[in-house]
Structure 1
Amino acid sequence: MWIALSLTGSFMIAEAVGGWLTGSLALISDAAHMLTDTVALAIALLAIRIGKRAADRRRTFGYGRFEIIAAAFNAGMLFAVAIYIFYEAWQRFRMPPEVQSIPMLVIASLGLIVNLISMRLLSAGQSESLNVKGAYLEVWSDMLGSLGVIIGAGVIYLTGWTWFDPLIAVLIAVWVLPRTYILLKASANVLLEGVPEGVEIDKIESSIRSDADVRGVHDLHIWGLGSGQISLAAHVLLAPGVQVDSFLRRTEMKLKSEYKVTHTTLQCEFEPCADEDICSLSTNVHDRDDEHDHHSHA
């Protein structure tokens, strides 16, 4: 990520200067996206560093959610860049400026190479971290932008159609927006403590109910603390005489192995709840499968 940040940041400056000198909005658009790439990578690195901090008395779940906030911020930046490109393109459609196609082609080709290298460096981590995924998504979209600029430079060189430059810029912005929405939606779901993407709450509830000692499950909550950190809390009604410790061990191991639930809190009951808020004869027991981790979340 440090290498990708250095490459992207350096070439972003070169591309912005090149766009200004050649008069190409498409290059400036690509440079703007590279700016968001650079900020995204810098924030991703900061988020990873902050996210590794141990939990404390004020942040009992740790700092892992900082990367989700960073991903949402990156998505917001991309939306802002797209709006600027639409505005500038409208101005240029009305009064197309002169565009130097050959320098535009050379700069865009170098930008494509930088983007491909950065994508290669980020590809391994983007499936594990929403924040890295956001950075990868921006570099990937910027790679497509560089391709668009190359095509635009070729068209302008062959035909002299300078209006093709703002058209390419608009197409780049339109291409990026749906993917930005997906990133923003995923970030918002975590911040709203929604059920994580790909997790089926009905299947998990059925899995808990399938235990022979379980008589009922209610007040079930599943949410994500951050990328790959799934938490679960529930009230479980057990049959009389069940060994609670034994039930908890096997249930927590099943949830962790089958559904990747990393933090479990089960409130075991031997009588049905008389009230939604007050449950009789209950025992609050936290996940004992990883005592060190859960003590840090106490």
Structure 2
Amino acid sequence: MTNRHDHDTDGHSHSHGVSVDADRRWLTIALALIGGFMAVEVVIGVIAQSLALISDAAHMLTDAVSIVLALIAIRLAARPAKGHYTYGLKRAEILSAQANGLTLLLLAAWLAYEAIRRLINPPEVHGWLVVVTALAGVAINIAASWAISKANRSSLNVEGAFQHILNDLYAFIATAIAGLIMVFTGFDRADAIASLIVVALMLKAGVGLLRDSGRILLEAAPAGLHPDQIGDLLANQNGVTEVHDLHVWTITSGQPALSAHVLVDRELDCHQVRLDLEGLLRDRYDLTHTTLQVDHVTDALLQIEPRTDHCEDAHGPAHTRTEHPH
């Protein structure tokens, strides 16, 4: 007997954290703050001849782009599943996170080149303009960070936008310190050094976003969920003979899923075993999006050693019971 079941605890749809409308509202507030200040900073950066300010403005441009991408992804992800897109467009936010990570790395490469060039031949920088603008930038980024922190940061999409702005906050602090050094010591290379600090922060955030979004796109098991451990646990439940074709992946941020083929003793009720296993997955691992195919074991399967021929194209290892009930 075969039973496939896609279980959802709320009975309708997945819901995680803050509402979609709230996400949009907070992201829009952050976008307005970032966009307005960025235009001012570009003008002042050119006047002050400060690469640190220009790099901060460029970083703020990626902040604005990341928020716009986040807003677009939220709208796409909210569309219902239909037609060929059986999960809807929920992974649009993962693609947005990938774009955010890539823009951070590309911008970091350009800023690193400019910073090194200015270390070798530093221009004269107007320190006080740098200090005042950087302190204003700190205030703006604190406000924008606070706004985005109110959104659903379990979403990798929103987290990507948040990381952009948080890195910009650190960058403004470094720029303000560099400006003070230039004012009181005349050490103009501090401007380029501050830019390199920004580059390091951007590289760290960019690599992290690409790594996390890449794991989802490559169907890797979510962090903290170990397929072999889960397979062994299921295989050792009462009446279960074997678990194979076990897959654990993430549909989108905060939505892990699992599917598996389960073989059980012939005298047991497949439906009840499935319900018991789903309850175990829900309680132990908070896995509520599960699809379990439960079949009675046959004599032919019992004679296979090792069991590798139960499916035409088996995926992954088979998990067999290690302790048999008496």
Q: Shared fold by TM > 0.5? A: yes
CA contact (8 A) 2:142 2:169 kept: yes
CA contact (8 A) 2:270 2:295 kept: no
- Give the match's secondary structure for 2:113: helix
Show CA shifts across 1:179-205 (max 9, x none): 221111001000000111222223322
Q: What is the aligned partner in structure 2 of residue 150 from structure 1?
A: 176
Q: Give 1:126 shift.
A: 5.4
Q: What is the aligned partner in structure 2 of residue 277 from structure 1?
A: 312
Between the aligned residues of both structures, percent identity stands at: 36
- Where do 5+ consecutive residues of structure 2 fail to align? 1-26, 302-307, 315-326
Q: Which moved more, 1:264-273 or 1:145-154?
A: 264-273
Report the number of matched residues.
279
Q: Give 1:7 shift.
A: 0.4
Measured in 1, the distance between the counterparts of 2:283 and 2:137 equals 43
Measured in 2, the distance between the counterparts of 1:249 and 1:93 equals 65
Show CA shifts across 1:89-146 (max 9, x none): 1222232112111111111111101111111122244541111111111111110000
Q: 1:45 to 1:86 in 2, by over 3 A?
A: same
CA contact (8 A) 1:126 1:136 kept: no
Q: Which moved more, 1:133-142 or 1:266-275?
A: 266-275
Give the TM-score taking structure 1 as reference length: 0.89
Q: What is the aligned partner in structure 2 of residue 282 from structure 1?
A: none
Match of 1:172 among 185, 188, 198: 198
Q: What is the aligned partner in structure 2 of residue 244 from structure 1?
A: 270
Q: What is the aligned partner in structure 1 of residue 235 from structure 2?
A: 209
Q: What is the aligned partner in structure 1 of residue 255 from structure 2?
A: 229
Amino acid at match of 2:161: A
Q: What is the aligned partner in structure 1 of residue 220 from structure 2?
A: 194
Match of 1:100 among 126, 131, 136: 126
Give 4+ residue runs of structure 1 displaced > 6 Å after superposition.
none
- Give the match's secondary structure for 2:261: strand
Q: Give 1:224 shift.
A: 0.6
Amino acid at match of 2:57: A
CA contact (8 A) 1:44 1:131 kept: yes
RMSD value over aligned CA atoms?
Answer: 1.6
CA contact (8 A) 1:51 1:67 kept: yes
Measured in 2, the distance between the counterparts of 1:3 and 1:210 equals 52
Show CA shifts across 1:229-283 (max 9, x none): 111111111011221222222222332333222321212222337443279xxxx
Measured in 1, the distance between the counterparts of 2:38 and 2:105 equals 18
Amino acid at match of 2:312: D
Q: 1:208 to 1:8 in 2, by over 3 A?
A: same
Measured in 2, the distance between the counterparts of 1:131 and 1:14 equals 27
CA contact (8 A) 2:101 2:209 kept: yes
Measured in 2, the distance between the counterparts of 1:9 and 1:252 equals 47
Match of 2:100 among 54, 59, 74: 74
Mapping for residues 1-298 of structure 1, pairs under 5 Å: 1-125=27-151, 127-271=153-297, 272=301, 274-277=309-312
- Where do 5+ consecutive residues of structure 1 fail to align? 280-298
